[in-house]
Structure 1
Amino acid sequence: MEMNQTQRLPVPKQVAWEALNDTALLKQCIPGCESIEPDGDNAYLLALTAAIGPVKARFKGRMALQDIQAPDSYTIQFDGQGGAAGFGKGSAHVRLDAEGEETLLSYTVNAQVGGKIAQIGSRLVDAAARKMADSFFTRFTEALGGGAQEAAAQEGEGSGQDKNQDGSQDSSQGGGQSDEPKRKRSWTAWISKS
């Protein structure tokens, strides 16, 4: 499995770096995380519960930080066992880039799973991994001072599209105007085309 993602954080780069190295904060943000304890230099023992498709298991594993280029990037090597559910191992390269008062966090994960988890199928495993990553970044962004609505607003600005309250997207750039005139214009444009 390979997964790439970029996330905008509402804090300067140094603050983001410190937060990524704060085990108490990470424990709060990682879905299902029960504990993160030091295990030598730049290494940690983790315990977490995760549900992947119909398989729910408690995983214990080790995470080590390597290739540390503070405050720009590091690589996380991980290896976890979930008993009869199977195992997961791999690496994640995490990079921070400053963008004014905000930080762009990019990561690439390469992972292998085995046991019952592998039998579930790659689509379910990928979907569960993406859901966990999304949940982590929602919590992480909120913990750094950006609320969920603020993060959603930044996400909408980045894509050039606004989301209405009903979840539909509006690609016009009229910002700040009510939905009524926008609908009228598009309806008028549609009539004039016919």
Structure 2
Amino acid sequence: MLVHHLYSGGKDSSLAAWVLTRLGYEVELVTVTFGLLDNWRFARETAKRLGFKHRVLKLPVEVLESAVETAIRDGHPNNAIQFIHEKALEALASMPDVVRVSDGTRRDDRVPFLDLPKARSLEDRFNVAYIRPLLGLGYKTIRELTERLFIVEIRESEELQKADYEVELRHLLRERGIDPLEIFPKRHYQSRVLGWKSL
């Protein structure tokens, strides 16, 4: 049973991929890009180190442009990131070989996060199963598991080489002459998994 799992290379999406394997699924990691940067390669490196198949899914740059407009209008990135995540799930679910889609969203996430009506809508519109293996887990549990399983690099978002939606969103804001720190939190930390710990 193959699952296509949205993957940034961070601890949440890596842990979710591991949980899926423990549930008996074959997992293919999928990293979204808009083609402005090659930051997807950081996720590919991590996928290789963890032993997962990996592919890159290119979304139309118009999706990113819409997200940037939303972030500028709102003065914060939440709705922009939610919009991109929904479009990423829809693009993945619409691919002809895809039957199951997954992500690393957690119990306490606000953004990105599909509520129950949106999750059901995704499944109904694209005839897929939407699997969220971390949905019942809180921050403390996820931290315990990732510290046990992975070598993790944690840095401020602006400094970390990573493959999530934020990178190209921040890039396009800069191209428009806007400092991303006017939109994003000034001290926001994110993670990148570097490999397995020896257990």
Q: What TM-score bracket applies, with the shorter chain setting the length? A: under 0.3
Q: Which has the higher strand share?
A: 1
The structure, 1 or 2, with the larger RCO (C-alpha pairs under 8 Å, 6+ apart) is 2
Q: Which has the higher helix share?
A: 2
TM-score when scaled to structure 2?
A: 0.25
TM-score when scaled to structure 1?
A: 0.26
